[in-house]
Amino acid sequence: MKNIAVFASGSGSNFQAIINEIERGELSAHIALLVCDKSEAKAIERAKSHEIDTFVFNPNAYVSKEEFEQEIVDELQTRNIEFIVLAGYMRLIGTTLLRSFEGKIVNIHPSLLPSFPGKDAIGQALLAGVKVTGVTIHYVDEGMDTGQIIAQEAVSVDEDETRETLTTKIQQVEHRLYYKTLKDLLSK
């Protein structure tokens, strides 16, 4: 069973979905740490309710990205983290983390990359009027959602789709696809 860290910045719905699969015995992993850059994020409450250690930091309290990423690396190494799962972490990963965990960081994104990278992918899809969007799981590299794609699944966009209904549809796919993909990746 691998020690993993989950990075999140917001509500942590994908984080919770991963916790649920671990607790059901469907995913063989131990979440040893939640890393969060927002002290008010709901993901922190989720971690505490499942007795998962947290490392919460304010990026503005550091001189540089390298400085806070080195502190994160130190926290990860202290807990023998083998794999990092980004679940709504809204920061680009820098070279300090990438060097320390090369090929061991994955992200989930609410679009069929390379379409609609970056923030508000759901809003971008709605604005573009596409009939299909989806979910992508990919390795993290130095770019914005540019890493090697591991898995994708399409989600249809209905004519009367709203941001809320499309978000719900995408999250349902995310929760299932992330767990299945992590199950494969962590068994290697």
Would you mind telling me the total number of residues written for the chain in this entry? 188
Distance (Å, rounded) from C-alpha 142 to C-alpha 15?
Answer: 23
> 59: Cβ–Cβ under 8 A, 6 or more apart, which residues?
37, 65, 68, 91
Q: What token pair was written down for 12?
A: 């942590």
Distance (Å, rounded) from C-alpha 44 to C-alpha 53?
Answer: 9
Cβ neighbours, 10 Å, residue 9: 17
Maximum CA pair distance of the chain? 50
Cite the active site residues.
109
Burial class (CB in 10 A: 0-12, 13-18, 19+), 160: exposed
The DSSP line for 52-115 is --EEE--GGGSS-HHHHHHHHHHHHHHTT--EEEESS--S---HHHHHHTTT-EEEEESS-TTS
